[in-house]
Amino acid sequence: MIAKPLSCSKLNGADFWSFYLSESASNEVSEHHARVLIDCYIAAQHLQALADGAGVSLGQQLQEVLPDAPHIRSGDFGEILCRSTLLGFGDEPEFPVYRWRNRSHKNDTVRGMDLIGYVKGASRKDDRLVVCEVKTRATTPNQKVAIDCYEQLTEGYVTRAASALLFAHQALLRDGQTERAAELARFRNPHEHGSYRWRLTASVVHDSALWQDSFLDALPGSYAFGSGVEVQVVVIRVAALMVWIDLVYDGAIADAAI
């Protein structure tokens, strides 16, 4: 996907970016996204251990991990697609925690911020804490999708980030990723204003045929968070999004079986 600046008269000072993925292009990268999907849900060694313990194939075991409720699938997929998109965008933020692994059962709603990560600068004053909320609409249009995403992102983001950072740090330590936990720990006190900058990213993943640029008109004309906060709006439009979601999930199970 190629990033293109998106023209918008709202949120004066914010960065707007648009991505588009055609049906043919999405089909071409389905295999790659299926592998990414598996990794986001479960570590390879853990999947193998569970399958061995249950005496089933990897594909069968993966079906016990991947959600099958349509709204959970859609929401997870949008977040994972947004994560992949942002990883290769601009200054390449890091999102070290796979939050989709932390649920009590496969159709459980994962609570907390959708994505939390960082951009590490040459010095601490150049660091950025990146938090992202994602709204996915695969079957029905919603003219309030952009403003809903933005308001959820900006409401109490400091306090919510503090909780998310605590759980993210513990999850990394639990998984033996001490170096990544140490990198994230430099942001562990989001109430410590002035030590780094913020990037607030509101991202909409939407079926292309159902998307209208006028959905952005619901956003406020400006924002007032001070010089230490950047606001970014990302719109990812995908042709036949629900079809692709099902294709990638089915491909993930097939890939695990192989």
What is the pTM (predicted TM-score) of this model?
0.95
Q: For the segment 184-241, what is each residue's pLDDT rounded down to a tens digit?
A: 888 888 876 567 899 999 999 999 999 999 999 999 999 988 888 999 999 999 999 9
Q: Which of 84, 83, 114 is nearest to 99 (CA)?
A: 114
* Per-residue b or e along 48-73, where b marks 16 or more CB atoms closer than 10 Å to that residue's CB: eebbeeeeeebeebbbebbbeeeebb
pLDDT higher than threshold 90 for residue 123: no
Give the orientation angle of helix 70-87 with respect to helix 241-257, to 10 degrees: 90
What pLDDT does 1 receive? 67
Give the orientation angle of helix 30-41 with respect to helix 241-257, to 10 degrees: 70
